[in-house]
Amino acid sequence: MQLDNILTPERCHCGLTGVSKKRILTNISELIAQQNEQLEADEIFNALMAREQLGSTGLGNGIAIPHCRVSSCQEIIGSLITLDSPVDFDAIDGKPVDILFALIVPELKTDEHLKTLAGLAELFHDENFCVKLRDTHDNNDLYNLAVTFKSRVE
């Protein structure tokens, strides 16, 4: 899957403020719902929180990929966020998170969900990519970096 098929400039945000995992997931849910009229922020938030209760989506090294399936979602939706200050995300390495890629997937797209998650995990494993993301302070630049650094996520 092409990263630019699931990510838009409007869903890339630098320096988002959040003091907790819950607050950040609330902000992300609202941002995604504003861009997708078929989705409601509460539905996204509840699905993301339910997934977090199964186990943290914090990968380590300051990266998290919160993800969920939402019944009213029609296509895979991504949102790339950098935080103004790292927050505790219950990551596997215990380090706070400052880069998030939220992934909202239609309920029945299980294979695509897993392939996209694997591709994102590989992408964020690239330390050079993460350094560049952290050095980016413009939403459009964040989007351009993400879609040009690695054109395919699968």
User: Could you list the active site residues?
Assistant: 67
> Are 97 and 26 in contact, with CB atoms under 8 Å apart?
no
> DSSP strand E in the chain: where?
12-16, 58-60, 63-64, 67-70, 77-87, 97-106
DSSP 97-110: EEEEEEEEEETT-H
C-alpha distances out from residue 132 to 3, 18, 89, 146, Å: 17, 21, 21, 10
Q: Which helix (H) or strand (E) holds 39?
A: none
Give the integer Cα–Cα distance in Å for 51 and 125.
22
